Structures are given as structure tokens and as C-alpha cells.
């Protein structure tokens, strides 16, 4: 797929979401069937589980955007089995033949992109966390596509290029700060933090007021891996100034739902030495 998806700020994110999905599809499209059964860093999840989960979540996003009553029923199912509903969606899809799963994922991605591009300005889409704008939904989908793509790449022994699309992941990680606190039953700090990252383009990616007392600095790729819980904090060079900034790095998550177990120290998909690589409510 080429060209721009939609217009305005949402269109820019949708275009990057499309490109992120296309890049991951190119990684798995030519795999032999046995490669789909390779284990990934996520416990009990194979490559097929990872793609099946993205397929399922794209489907949930499409339902949320097109049928709020039906999506509310999905939320009720999730509340009844909070520790199982995500795994069940992945397990069901992983039983499909690789070619069928790939086609379902491709069709679901295309349908979601078209639907989000057609949404009216100002639309808020319900989700498992706070309702999201169209740009917020697209950002969350890009974040998850990238994060699960990291798991797939790890399983295949592939080092993917670190693109400027990670700016969206960094942004949602910063904006989800208060959600991460709440997910752990903690009261978020009243004062904003300053986050200064070295971006994949070599430029500074900066968030929050310059005079903030609490600060996080470091590499943007490591920050994105941390907030998607693809690396342990100890395996990054991220630095925190202030007790609350330090606490945040221990609990950060950019996705909706309960806190994940995270990765053990030494087991994450951290960037190569010297490399620069669903609770959002925008």
C-alpha cells in the first residue's frame, strides 16, 4: 500500500500505522509453516500467536469504531476474564493455517485503516482504557504493532531498522504516565515530568516543561522498549532524576489493561550497542 491515509494529524499517524504493519508483514509473509511455531519472548506465544493477537486487536478496534454496543459487550467479556481474554484471542487465531492467518490480518488492517480515516473530526472511540481520538487509536495500534513486531523479530533472529515512526511510541509512553500509576494502584504525581530522548533521527525528542524537577533522559529506542515492556529497565541506559521519575521507569506501560509482568533483566530485546531501536487518551 502506498500514498497517504486520510488527512491532518490523524492521517499522518494512519500512514505510519500502515507502514508499520506493512513492514512486519514483509517479515513474516515468506516464512515456512514451521517458523510460525517458533517461540517468542512472550511466554507461551509463538510467532503465530503474535500475529493472531494483532489480528484480534485490530478486529476489536474496528468493532469499537463501528458498533459501540457490540464493543461494550466485548468489554464486559474482558471484565469477566481479565487474565484470559487477550490470550484466548491469540490462541484462537494461532490455530489457523499461516496463510489464512496472514490474510485475515492483512484484511483487518486494511479495514481498520479505512474506517479510522473516515471518522469525523473530534470522534472519541471507546476502548478498554479511556476513550481515544482517531489519532490516539492509530497511535495505540502502531505502538502495539511495533512492540509485537519486536517479539517476532527476536524469534527470527532479525534486527529491524529503527524508524522515526517510534516517535509515536515515545509520545504514547509519555502520555500514559498517569495510567501506569493508576494501573499499579498508585496516585500519579501532580507535577509533569521532563522527558528528553535522543531520537532515531539523531534529533532530540522532548516532552514536558523544561524546568520540571523530575526528569528522564536517554535513548528513544530504549524508552520505547521499556514502555512496551520489551526490555528490563536495568538493561537500558535510561536515567531518572527524582524519586518519582525513577518509580515511573519501574512501572511504565504504554498499553491499556493490567500491568504486565515485564521482562527479566538480561532477557529483553534491547538495541544493539551504539544504536539509536492502550491507554492513550489524546
Check: CB of residue 49 under 8 Å from CB of residue 91.
Answer: yes
> What integer is the mean pLDDT of 98-124?
96
- Residue 218 sits at φ, ψ, to 5 deg, of 150, -160
CATH code for 166-251? Answer: 3.30.1050
More confident call, 79 vs 3 = 79
Separation between Cα atoms, residue 55 and residue 250, nearest integer Å: 29
- Say yes or no: do domains 8-135 and 166-251 share a fold: no
CATH code for 8-135? Answer: 1.20.120.450
pLDDT digits (tens, 9 = 90+) for 220-279: 999 999 999 999 999 999 999 999 999 999 999 998 777 766 777 776 554 432 222 333
pTM of the complete model: 0.90
Domain boundaries, the chain: 8-135, 166-251
Amino acid at each position: 500500500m502506498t500514498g497517504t491515509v486520510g488527512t491532518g494529524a490523524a492521517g499522518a499517524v494512519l500512514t505510519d500505522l500502515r507502514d508499520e504493519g506493512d513492514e512486519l508483514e514483509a517479515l513474516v509473509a515468506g516464512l515456512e509453516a514451521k517458523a510460525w511455531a517458533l517461540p517468542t519472548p512472550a511466554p507461551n506465544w509463538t510467532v503465530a500467536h503474535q500475529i493472531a493477537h494483532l489480528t484480534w486487536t485490530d478486529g476489536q478496534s474496528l468493532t469499537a469504531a463501528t458498533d459501540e454496543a457490540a464493543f461494550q459487550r466485548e468489554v464486559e467479556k474482558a471484565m469477566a476474564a481479565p487474565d484470559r481474554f487477550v490470550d484466548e484471542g491469540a490462541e484462537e487465531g494461532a490455530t489457523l493455517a499461516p496463510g489464512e492467518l496472514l490474510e485475515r490480518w492483512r484484511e483487518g488492517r486494511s479495514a481498520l485503516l479505512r474506517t479510522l480515516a473516515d471518522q469525523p473530526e473530534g470522534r472519541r472511540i471507546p476502548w478498554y482504557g479511556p476513550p481515544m481520538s482517531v489519532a490516539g487509536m492509530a497511535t495505540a495500534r502502531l505502538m502495539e504493532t511495533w512492540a509485537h513486531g519486536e517479539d517476532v523479530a527476536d524469534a527470527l533472529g532479525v534486527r529491524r531498522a529503527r524508524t522515526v515512526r517510534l516517535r509515536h511510541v515515545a509520545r504514547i509512553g509519555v502520555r500514559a504516565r498517569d495510567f501506569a500509576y493508576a494501573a499499579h494502584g498508585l496516585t500519579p504525581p501532580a507535577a509533569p515530568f521532563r522527558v528528553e530522548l535522543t531520537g532515531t533521527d539523531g534529533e532530540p525528542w522532548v516532552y514536558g516543561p523544561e524546568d520540571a524537577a523530575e526528569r528522564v533522559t536517554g535513548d528513544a529506542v530504549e524508552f520505547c522498549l521499556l514502555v512496551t515492556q520489551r526490555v528490563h529497565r536495568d538493561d537500558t541506559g535510561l536515567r531518572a532524576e527524582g524519586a518519582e521519575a525513577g518509580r515511573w521507569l519501574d512501572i511504565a506501560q504504554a498499553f491499556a489493561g493490567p500491568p504486565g509482568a515485564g521482562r527479566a533483566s538480561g532477557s529483553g530485546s534491547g538495541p544493539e550497542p551504539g544504536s539509536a531501536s492502550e491507554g492513550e487518551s489524546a
